[in-house]
Structure 1
Amino acid sequence: MKLVKYRFPSWLLALFACLLWSTAFVGVKYSITFAPPLFVAGIRFFLAGLILIPFAGEGYFKEIQGHFKLIVIVGFLQTFSVYLLFFLSLSRIKASTGAALVGLGPLIGAVLGHVFIKTDKFNRKKIISFILGISGVTLVSLSGGKNGSLPNNNVYSKLPSWRYK
């Protein structure tokens, strides 16, 4: 399969990808107020697929034909099942909490990598990173203040009332 060369610097493409990914939670949370979560998910992935086709490169459809069964299995288990639950949960939780929970994915992957890959070792740097990651997710998820702020945080008392009602 031939790779597509881009005229943009990789850091700019990475920044653009981070921007798209980080705004997805708010966009989904807003969208599901107008349409059912699964409909929004279907539209989102359909549009994403259409947008990505021009960037696929030569041989894209041959690769799909050659690995169709694996693509269907991974697509169902990873994309469909995970995002089905995620979009349904966003109708019941805050977007910030959803983003934090999705952020647990790499942490869980690191722990599973350590368990299943014999050569992977937890060193001090990995342990500190893991503790910081879990702490951040816990702080966001268990916050009890208005609009996701920390409990007993008086920052909202200094803002105009329209900002948080």
Structure 2
Amino acid sequence: METRRRLLPVFEALFVTFLWSTSYIIIKWGLKEIPPLFYAGLRYSLAFIIFLPFVIKKNQIDELKRLTRKDFKKLFLLGFIFYFATQGTQFIGLSLLPSVTVSLMLNFTPLAVLAMGIIFLDERPGKIQIVGIVIFLAGTLIYFLPVDLNNAQLAGMGVMTLGVAANAAASVLGREINRGHKFTPLTITFVSMGTGSFLLLLTAIIFEGFPSIGFEDWIYILWLAGINTALAFTLWNKTLRELTAVESSVINNTMLIQIAVLSFLFLGESLNAKEITGLIIVFVGAVLVQKRKRK
């Protein structure tokens, strides 16, 4: 029973990462016509609106009323880091870089999460988890290196460096908020997404204006908002109640494998023997990091 209870959040988290992996393909399609910040801001603002019917229920309204000023500050900070900073930089990164390069950059998040988790959450990974992280990162390097980048891609790497730092900070802060079990995942997602997404959309309007969006692009946006955001982020917050910050981050980084396969199927990016070897090593690292210390 304990094993089954332990595996459920792992499988839920993996399902969420699959949805997020398909987002890379859909975003790349939409970026042909939509500016990156406006694309990101519209996606998450619409997802926030989709949440409204679920939040106007009495129990959810009562929970929102219990939010203190300190709670609002913490959730606003999560929204700023996780939506405005992390998602904004990822959309800009995808407009400048191939999807696999963005994925490579995000795979360095576990190292930052490991350091932050020790400092702020007192979550110390076991030796086998550390080995798993090292193996995982070694696999990403084998898969992607050598990387030959032009000036635009170098700028994208700089943007994604900021994105990695924001992603790591969001992982740690999200874990710290969710492990307290003070509020439901819906409330956490609703408040943080609302503040972060509208700040992102406002920034996009100021710097990018209002673009013309076609019917097909609206399909992309609505799918990303409803399924890959509203559903996926709520489920992800639920898994953070059981998984540590490092575990969640490494599960999130199995997207490397999923994005590579989806990119091959939908973007025509082929895999050679070195890349397949890297994927296998990444998978082994992700499995090892799930091993917890026995108390």
Other-structure match for 1:49: 197
Equivalent pairs, count = 140
SS at match of 1:121: coil
2: CA distance between counterparts of 1:59 and 1:66? 17
- 1:64–1:71 CA contact under 8 A, matched in 2: no
Whether 2:230 is the aligned partner of 1:84: answer no
SS at match of 2:175: helix
Other-structure match for 2:171: 25
- Percent identical residues: 15
Residues 46-102 of structure 1: CA deviation (Å, up to 9, x unaligned): 122122124311115x53998444422221121122212211111122121111111
Other-structure match for 1:14: 160
Would you tell me which structure has more helix in proportion to its own residues? 2
Q: Which runs of 4+ in 1 moved over 4 A?
A: 1-4, 9-12, 64-67, 117-120
Residues 85-128 of structure 1: CA deviation (Å, up to 9, x unaligned): 211111122121111111112311212444x3595433122112
Other-structure match for 1:59: 210
The partner residue of 2:256 within 103, 106, 109 is 106
SS at match of 2:271: coil
2: CA distance between counterparts of 1:10 and 1:122? 23
Unaligned runs of 5+ in 2: 1-33, 38-154
Equivalent residue runs for 1:145-160 within 5 Å: 145=293
* Cα 1:66–1:104 shift into 2, 3 Å: closer
Paired amino acid for 1:106: L
SS at match of 2:183: coil
1: CA distance between counterparts of 2:156 and 2:209? 21
1: CA distance between counterparts of 2:219 and 2:266? 26
SS at match of 2:292: coil
- 1:2–1:59 CA contact under 8 A, matched in 2: no
Other-structure match for 2:184: 36
2: CA distance between counterparts of 1:48 and 1:139? 34
TM-score by length of 2: 0.41
1: CA distance between counterparts of 2:193 and 2:267? 36
Other-structure match for 1:140: 289
Q: Which has the higher contact order (CA 8 A, sep 6+)?
A: 2
- 1:2–1:58 CA contact under 8 A, matched in 2: no
TM-score by length of 1: 0.69
Larger Rg over CA atoms: 1
SS at match of 2:242: coil
1: CA distance between counterparts of 2:201 and 2:215? 15
Q: CA deviation at 1:12?
A: 4.4
- 1:100–1:140 CA contact under 8 A, matched in 2: yes
CA RMSD of aligned residues (A): 3.1
SS at match of 1:63: coil
